[in-house]
Amino acid sequence: MFHVDVVRTVVQCAGQVWPLTCGKDVSGCAYTWNYWNRRSLTSTWKSSGSSNPASPNAHTLVQEVFLVGKKRDSGIGYEAIADELRAKIDSGELAPGARVPGEKELMATYEVSRDTAWKALQVLRDQGLTESRQGAPTKVRQFERIVRPANKRLSREVWGAGKSMWSVDVVDKMPTPLDVDVRRVELDARVARLLGMEEGQPAVCRSRRYAIDSKPVMRAVSHIPADLADGTPIAEKDTGPGGTYARLEDIGHAPTVFREEVKSRMPTKAEKEWLKIERGTPVIEIIRYAADESGRVVEVNEMVLDSSSYVLEYVIPS
């Protein structure tokens, strides 16, 4: 079955661009054709004053349009091709660092167009399974995903012992904090509602990004009521061993309950820039509430994670 690229062919043959449903041959005889019937290309001729409206030149042009048409895809879609390649990656047939078949190979193997092959490779890249650089072949990504065990990283055994939460994440390298910013702010209505406070009340805002091998994987912005943070390391860039939660314990407001809201969505333009996210990759948004023994919310932390870099793990006793 052929798909006819009519406009391009008319330009090549007649030297002019015409709408899909009409054209003009070199002899001046006007014609139209039934483009939508892809099983056959039929012609209808209109006389332009010539005694021979179905001129040989017009007929030749239509036949040429038909013959240079390009072959349509074999029927397999780009998602199915991506699924097969992903299965090979998951099974280890395509190991980390291995070269992934390129567009030409996929076109030959699956009898598809270049556009379909490109889309299949794009799906794998958007899912964080492959990586490519200009002028180099696409390879299976070697980056190990971060396994984030929520229950363990929030336990007192971790921050109470002066450890970083990242120390319990399953990752081969410790992240590097970027763009750490600590400032005193007046709460807007949205964040005030999350903290159970009034709009305009003061708080300490801590924002930062975390990167592994120079690739940002998360951005976090936390707010702590100013009456708790003022005069403590919480209001400084370096909060000390155990971080913010250990410092809250120092002043008698240790978190005893954590609650996290998790959702997946597409990133904003700013988040794409912060996390250097590939096109089509969603983010994971986590809002964590930390409350002390009295039930007061002592911190709200809003995190945005690159979904291609993370596995979220929850252990829930039965």
Fold of 146-313: Chorismate lyase (3.40.1410)
* 195 vs 276 pLDDT, higher one: 195
Mean pLDDT of the chain: 79
Measured distance CA(212)–CA(217) in Å, rounded: 7
* 137 vs 186 pLDDT, higher one: 186
* 109 vs 151 pLDDT, higher one: 109
**pLDDT, tens digit (0-9, with 9 covering 90-100), for 226-245:** 999 999 999 999 999 999 99
Q: Which CATH class is domain 78-140?
A: mainly alpha
Tokens of 280: 């089509």
Domain ranges of the chain: 2-71, 78-140, 146-313
pLDDT at residue 2 greater than cutoff 80: no
Q: What is the pTM of this model?
A: 0.63
At position 74, the amino acid (one-letter code) is S
User: Predicted confidence band at 172 (pLDDT cuts at 50, 70, 90)?
Assistant: low
pLDDT at residue 60 greater than cutoff 60: no
Residue 74's pLDDT is what?
A: 64
Measured distance CA(239)–CA(236) in Å, rounded: 6
